């Protein structure tokens, strides 16, 4: 009989032992819950491609904020559909638009709940692209001035963090400058520094009505094949003043998350995007997977890869499961 001296299974022998030696602990404090706000009143409508997620009118978000905070979740990210669209997306910085009003309502209802404002233009423009168009080209430098207006408007509404997701070059420096000039030096910037041109965004574009009227976003979002480019984008955004670095999507890019984690001292966020969410919900609805186990395993994998912040549509369910 072989005498086995090395027995790693000893540290897996019981639940108590596994808890004692666990290397990565998922917490509800890691989560940011994305919400979608729309014009109108008394609206709570499920998004067809994202079961369990809803469009809310602004008069519904205070109650939602209480519900989120009661679970121990510390932050939300606010996305919105505007009442009107134009070529430059001016409703994105209109203080009467749903996003700005929702930010103010959340901070009034639950002041300690952190609010992240998504800084982009795609759902506000008539063409669905993320900036000012010159022909079919998104004009980088003319777009920066528009993004500055969006970020400042969200800070005025009460956002603790602004999160530019447009992928224009130089946007972090431009937004930091605008925030500081307007006395919002304590408003943080969470940069979508590493945002890929991904097929995983499909349900979100349904939820936010942000499908491009022509072409796609590969001129400005990153090629899914590239990782060294992610490190360059990270370094540039850190140099420009980003407080938090995000990788989006998460699930197919955990190698990128790890590489980014290893080259920066900034906190890392990941976005567990709509397509990742929808796949799990569809499989669970068909009885093919154990939804709770899959979701918690997936979120743990994101944290293990290096994420401190996980933006996820699973946040409410995951918090309920984790809180028992």
* Cβ contact 224:198 at 8 Å: yes
Say whether 121 sits in a helix, a strand or coil: coil
Residue whose pair of structure tokens reads 């009661």 in the numeric block: 70
Encoded tokens for 136: 């079919």
Cα distances from 167 to residues 144, 233, 289, in angstroms, run 10, 9, 35
Say whether 3 sits in a helix, a strand or coil: coil
Cα distances from 44 to residues 100, 203, 230, 281, 323, in angstroms, run 18, 18, 37, 20, 25
Q: Quick check: is 195 catalytic?
A: yes
Q: Quick check: is 42 catalytic?
A: no
Encoded tokens for 84: 């009107």
Residues 6+ apart with CB under 8 A from 212: 122, 127, 128, 129
String of b and e for 88-115 (b: at least 16 CB within 10 Å)? bbbbbbbeebbbbbbbbbbbeebeebbb
As a whole number of Å, the end-to-end CA separation of the chain is 45
* Cβ contact 282:203 at 8 Å: no
Catalytic hit among 85, 107, 248, 281: 248
Helices (H), 71-97: none
Residue whose pair of structure tokens reads 């400005």 in the numeric block: 220
> Got the DSSP string for 257-290?
HHHHHHH--S-EEEEE-HHHHHHHHHHHHTTSS-
Q: Is cis: bond before 62, omega within 30 of 0?
A: no
Catalytic hit among 42, 107, 149, 195: 195
Instruction: Please give the positions annotated as active site.
Output: 195, 248
């Amino acid at each position: 009989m072989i005498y086995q001296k090395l027995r790693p299974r000893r540290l897996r022998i019981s639940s108590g032992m596994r808890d004692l030696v666990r290397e990565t602990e998922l917490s509800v404090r890691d989560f940011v819950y994305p919400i979608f706000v729309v014009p109108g009143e008394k609206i709570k409508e499920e998004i067809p491609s994202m079961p369990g997620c809803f469009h809310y009118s602004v008069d519904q978000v205070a109650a939602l904020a209480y519900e989120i905070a009661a679970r121990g979740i510390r932050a939300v990210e606010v996305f919105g559909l505007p009442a009107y669209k134009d070529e430059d997306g001016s409703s994105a910085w209109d203080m009467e638009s749903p996003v700005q009003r929702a930010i103010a309502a959340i901070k009034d209802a639950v002041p300690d709940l952190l609010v992240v404002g998504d800084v982009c233009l795609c759902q506000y423009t008539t063409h669905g692209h993320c900036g000012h168009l010159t022909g079919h080209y998104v004009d980088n430098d003319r777009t920066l001035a528009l993004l500055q207006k969006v970020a400042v408007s969200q800070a005025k509404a009460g956002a603790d963090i602004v999160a530019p997701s447009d992928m224009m070059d130089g946007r972090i420096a431009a937004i930091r400058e605008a925030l500081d000039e307007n006395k919002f030096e304590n408003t943080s910037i969470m940069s979508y520094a590493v945002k890929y041109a991904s097929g995983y965004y499909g349900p979100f574009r349904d939820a936010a009505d942000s499908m491009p009227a022509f072409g796609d976003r590969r001129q400005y979002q990153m090629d899914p094949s590239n990782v060294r480019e992610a490190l360059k984008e990270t370094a540039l955004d850190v140099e420009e003043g980003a407080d938090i670095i995000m990788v989006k999507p998460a699930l197919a890019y955990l190698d990128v998350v790890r590489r980014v984690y290893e080259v920066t001292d900034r906190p890392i966020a990941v976005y567990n995007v709509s397509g990742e969410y929808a796949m799990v919900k569809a499989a669970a609805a068909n009885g093919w997977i154990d939804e709770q186990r899959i979701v918690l395993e997936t979120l743990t994998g994101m944290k293990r890869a290096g994420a401190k912040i996980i933006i996820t549509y699973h946040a409410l369910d995951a918090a309920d499961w984790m809180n028992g």
